[in-house]
Amino acid sequence: MTASTASPASPASPVVSRTLHGNVLVVGIDHPPVNALSVDVRRGLVEAIEAAQADPAVTAVLIVGAGRNFIAGADIREFGKPPLAPLLPTVCNRIEACPKLVVAAIHGAALGGGLEIALAAHYRLAVRGAKLGLPEVQLGLLPGAGGTQRTPRLIGAAAALDLMLSGRHARAEEALQLGLIDRLGATDDVLGEGLAYVRELLAAHAAVRPTRAASALSDAGVDAMRAAVEAARKETATRARGLFSPMKIIDAVEAAFTLPFDEGLALERRLFVECLESPQRAGLVHAFFAEREVAKAPETKAATPRAVATIGVVGGGTMGAGIAVAVLDAGLPVTMIERDDEALARGRAHVERVYDGLVAKGRIKTDAKAAALARFTGSTSYEALAQADLVIEAVFEDMAVKKAVFSELDRVCKRGAVLATNTSYLDIDEIAGATSRPADVIGLHFFSPANIMKLLEIVVPARVSADVVATAFELARQLRKVPVRAGACDGFIGNRLLAVYRTAADYLMEDGASPYQIDRAMREFGYPMGPYQVVDLAGGDIGWAARKRRAPTRDPRMRYVEIADRLCERGWFGQKTGRGFYRYEPGARTGAPDLEVEAIVEAERLRVGISARSFTDDEIVRRLMCAIINEAANVVREGIALRPLDVDITLIYGYGFPRYRGGPMKYADMLGLPTVLAELERLSQEDAFFWRPSPLIVKLVERGADFSSLNGTAS
Ligand code: 3HC
Ligand code: NAI
């Protein structure tokens, strides 16, 4: 803070400072890393307001944040623990009731409870670069410190609902336009701007102005309000299907124009507590911390990343083109290598097509496309990669082809270059063995479409050096991906779990459930698509090839269901062939159930001597979840995933697992591991090989512990 005439006021809390600037008491929140509203901050704020009120030398209060943010909101780590006074709504009411002028000066993030503190102040200023929002919905909550009552009174119900239901951040300029703030600072000196604004208000004898008395709601009229609420309800019913807090947000905002302020606040509090106690809040808060935790691997602490300024991509197919776009989007140059001129032209066209799509959807402007493409070069000669700092291979999934590519990379790349493969299943140690520098070889497993999907599995083979792993994590940060460290094994974390999920679904199908019932049950659970819709989307031929490849090494104790093979033998590979588990009209992406498929399923049951039994949707979900949880426990036990939370993030970001359930391991903890174990033991009477409980689950249950005990985090 730049305080020329400042003098410290009476001793304050360690996290809330009080400094007198003439007759203005500056209340500074200094609680790193993000000034979250922990109990100490709440207490300090109330004490500061009371001190200001009692001190005749103070005529106004300015609230500012120290460090990079104003206030990032409630302290998320306190959720789920017994509440400690003063509660945030009390703090906000106390600020608003102060008879002296209170102004908030905002820089960085003013989110959730942070914005609610600002909304309780009588005037608000923000400097450029500030971001204001009510993102509670992303944590399964609603703004619970008056946000649902004050925001609509200030900016109207439609704008308030938009902020609360999307959870998006509004920039300072937009906040001014909306009426969320009163003044945009001319410079980024938040304290200087704030003090000048307070002095201006004092000089103009500006009134103390409680937001509860703001009139946007009455100005807009009850009919407009009602229309906004009804529109939000309708849209939320489809867009946020299965989510608990969005409808509660709408109920609370409705109360802002149907109830007096204090009754509205009371309703908000009741609804907030309902959300706080919901399993969705627990799942979403777990995901919040887990997605930050995954970026911390042993190597990121122990080693310094290598510098990466130029990147090569080998292969310009689906993945190579998508990876190239992801890298170009991060502002880095890309050199693409293809087999011949024709394939290279296809690769380049593929990259251009991705950008054309983004332009057509209005996501980027034409000049952004041109700027990105200016960083793109292609070649059919590996020599073009001589100066690349990092190369990502994305050629056919064939060991011989991959080895040939890596031996070329070994020949041309400079010493110290990182050599990465995007293989889905192949043995990366074997690929590394094709080079004279296995310490430089790593797996970077992107997901399709690679420029959109957030997950990046960083696959760590035995001989790779720590700084190469650290480089991969740094690259993920630059590409704005969510990195998960995975050990090398068949399928790494994600595809290994996908395989058991599919197998368990196939068992259900052969035993009597229709693929359509299975898909519906999983959609109801929260997946955007059921397992057979995913097969049809990805192409049945891919799984078929993998099954044929694994056939010679398949454990004879493993039950094998041939239904999908029967479809593939007919050339029914899914969407791309118009038929798969579903039938597709030309060009359609949504398929219709197919009686012929049901007949094939029935014929297969007959062939293997199974008479169909019925399953409830609930049984289907239980079995598929148990299959994933059990294999995930093995993945953790074997050290393929560092912690259970790495599995959770892999499935949430790569496989459509519903975020509000926190990932399969968090879900298992919420079900209770003894319940999961009992179910596995019951199922293993049907098939002792597939359903054998993971020794990790058995051990945790014996100890009375759960997966979260292995995460090393608070959530
Ligand atoms: N409470 C506790 N810890 C928090 C926190 C919060 N509200 N917000 C961030 N943190 C922690 C993170 O976990 C991280 O911890 P780590 O270093 O141990 O991993 C650290 O602060 C830094 O966070 P980021 O890595 O996310 O830092 P960035 O600079 O990238 O982003 C941010 C800063 C934009 C503020 C981002 O952290 C963020 O979006 N935070 C959450 C904001 C939010 O959801 N607020 C609403 C809370 S609910 C609420 O307020 C209820 C109320 O209505 C009653
Ligand atoms: P693709 O068949 O679309 O593309 C492969 C490309 O590699 C083709 O353009 C081909 O011309 C080129 N190529 C082949 N040999 C080459 C060589 N020696 N030198 C230069 N280029 C060569 O395949 P796709 O789907 O892009 O897959 C590539 C890799 O990515 C595979 O290892 C696959 O397992 C993996 N992967 C695929 C995912 C997907 O969803 N398609 C997801 C994640 C990983």
Per-residue pLDDT tens digits for 163-173? 999 999 999 99
Phi, psi of 677 (to 5 degrees): -65, -40
Q: Which ligand is nearest to the CA of 69?
A: 1
Angle in degrees, 0-180, between the axes of helices 515-525 and 617-637, rounded to the nearest 10: 70
Q: Is the pLDDT of residue 502 over 70?
A: yes
Decide which of 1.10.1040.50, 3.40.50.720, 1.10.10.60, 1.10.3720.10 is the CATH code for 495-710: 1.10.1040.50
Nearest-CA residue for ligand 2 atom 14 is 395
How remote is the C-alpha of 28 from its chain's centroid?
Answer: 31
Report whether 685 contacts 324 (CB < 8 A): no
Nearest-CA residue for ligand 1 atom 26 is 292
Which atom of ligand 1 is the closest one to the Cα of 272?
54
Taking alpha carbons only, the member of 254, 260, 197, 228 closest to residue 21 is 197
Taking alpha carbons only, the member of 499, 503, 493 closest to residue 647 is 493
For 684, the enclosing helix (H) or strand (E) is none
Q: Is the pLDDT of residue 1 over 50?
A: no
pLDDT band at 3, cuts 50/70/90? Answer: very low
Pair of tokens at residue 414? 């400079």
Task: Give the model confidence (pLDDT) of 399-422 as tens digits.
Answer: 999 999 999 999 999 999 999 999
pLDDT score recorded for residue 222: 83
Residue 77 CB less than 6 A away from ligand 1: yes
Taking alpha carbons only, the member of 125, 119, 113 closest to residue 75 is 113
Task: Give the model confidence (pLDDT) of 431-480 as tens digits.
Answer: 999 999 999 999 999 999 999 999 999 999 999 999 999 999 999 999 99
Portions of the chain given CATH number 3.90.226.10: 6-276
pLDDT score recorded for residue 11: 55
pLDDT band at 2, cuts 50/70/90? Answer: very low
Q: Which ligand is nearest to the CA of 456?
A: 2
Q: What CA–CA distance (Å, rounded) separates 58 from 226?
A: 43
Residue 144 CB less than 6 A away from ligand 1: yes
Nearest-CA residue for ligand 2 atom 4 is 317
From residue 660, alpha-carbon distances to 195, 241, 287, 288, 425 in Å are 42, 11, 8, 10, 29
Q: Which ligand is nearest to the CA of 400?
A: 2
Three-class secondary structure of residue 543 per DSSP: helix
Q: Ligand 2: which of 351, 392, 396 to mutate, judged by most atoms within 8 Å of the beta carbon?
A: 396
Q: What CA–CA distance (Å, rounded) separates 644 from 306?
A: 29
Pair of tokens at residue 567? 């479809």
How remote is the C-alpha of 308 from its chain's centroid?
Answer: 26
Give 72 Cα–ligand 1 centroid separation in angstroms: 6
> What is the sign of the dihedral through the CA atoms of 352, 356, 362 and 368?
positive
pLDDT score recorded for residue 217: 85
Give 106 Cα–ligand 2 centroid separation in angstroms: 48
Q: Is the pLDDT of residue 708 over 90?
A: yes
The CATH class that applies to domain 6-276 reads alpha beta
User: How many Å is the Cα radius of gyration of the chain?
Assistant: 29
Give 487 Cα–ligand 2 centroid separation in angstroms: 22
Q: Ligand 2: which of 348, 380, 395, 541 to mutate, judged by most atoms within 8 Å of the beta carbon?
A: 395
Which atom of ligand 1 is the closest one to the Cα of 116?
53
Residue 580 CB less than 6 A away from ligand 1: no
Portions of the chain given CATH number 3.40.50.720: 308-490
Q: By percentage, how much of the chain surpasses pLDDT 70?
A: 98
For 575, the enclosing helix (H) or strand (E) is none
In this prediction, residues 124-135 reach a mean pLDDT of 98
Taking alpha carbons only, the member of 420, 467, 465, 428 closest to residue 446 is 420
In this prediction, residues 550-576 reach a mean pLDDT of 95
Give 185 Cα–ligand 1 centroid separation in angstroms: 24
Residue 284 CB less than 6 A away from ligand 1: no
pLDDT score recorded for residue 80: 86
In 547-665, DSSP assigns E strands to 582-583, 592-593
Taking alpha carbons only, the member of 604, 531, 538 closest to residue 567 is 604
Give 292 Cα–ligand 1 centroid separation in angstroms: 10
Give 137 Cα–ligand 1 centroid separation in angstroms: 14
Q: Which ligand is nearest to the CA of 715?
A: 1
Taking alpha carbons only, the member of 642, 663, 659, 631 closest to residue 711 is 642
Among the residues of 459-493, which ranges form H helices? 466-478
Q: Is the pLDDT of residue 697 over 80?
A: yes
Q: Is the pLDDT of residue 54 over 80?
A: yes
Pair of tokens at residue 701? 């249950």
Strands 592-593 and 582-583, by their bridges, are antiparallel
Catalytic residue positions?
116, 136
Give residues (CB < 6 A) around ligand 2: 314-320, 337-339, 343, 347, 394-397, 401, 405, 422-424, 445-448
pLDDT band at 12, cuts 50/70/90? Answer: low
Q: Is the pLDDT of residue 499 over 80?
A: yes
The DSSP bridge partners found for residue 313 are 336, 392
Cis peptide before 333 (omega within 30 of 0): no
Residue 137 CB less than 6 A away from ligand 1: no
Report whether 314 contacts 394 (CB < 8 A): yes
* Cβ neighbours for 173, distance < 8 A, ≥ 6 positions apart: 128, 184
In this prediction, residues 593-617 reach a mean pLDDT of 98
Report whether 701 contacts 693 (CB < 8 A): no
How remote is the C-alpha of 619 from its chain's centroid?
Answer: 28
Taking alpha carbons only, the member of 325, 331, 332, 286 closest to residue 309 is 332
Q: What's the complex ipTM? A: 0.96
For 136, the enclosing helix (H) or strand (E) is none
Q: Is the pLDDT of residue 4 over 60?
A: no
pLDDT band at 13, cuts 50/70/90? Answer: confident
Give 394 Cα–ligand 2 centroid separation in angstroms: 5
Portions of the chain given CATH number 1.10.1040.50: 495-710
pLDDT score recorded for residue 218: 83
CATH number of 308-490: 3.40.50.720
Q: Which ligand is nearest to the CA of 384?
A: 2
Q: What CA–CA distance (Å, rounded) separates 269 from 275?
A: 10
Q: Ligand 2: which of 318, 405, 419, 455 to mutate, judged by most atoms within 8 Å of the beta carbon?
A: 318
Taking alpha carbons only, the member of 569, 555, 506, 510 closest to residue 535 is 506
Task: Give the model confidence (pLDDT) of 220-263 as tens digits.
Answer: 888 888 999 999 999 999 998 899 999 999 999 999 999 999 99
Which atom of ligand 2 is the closest one to the Cα of 538?
40
Backbone φ/ψ region at 459: left (φ over 0), alpha (ψ -120 to 50), beta: beta
pTM: 0.95
Q: Ligand 2: which of 403, 423, 424, 573 to mutate, judged by most atoms within 8 Å of the beta carbon?
A: 424
Task: Give the model confidence (pLDDT) of 255-291 as tens digits.
Answer: 999 999 999 999 999 999 999 999 999 999 999 999 9
Q: b/e map of 153-186 (b: 16 or more CB within 10 Å)?
A: bbbbbbbbbbbbbbbebbbbebbbebebbbbbbe
Nearest-CA residue for ligand 1 atom 16 is 292
Report whether 268 contacts 142 (CB < 8 A): yes
Q: What is the full DSSP assignment across 203-263?
A: HTTPPP--GGG--HHHHH-HHHHHHHHHHHHHHHHHHTTT-SHHHHHHHHHHHHHHS-HHH
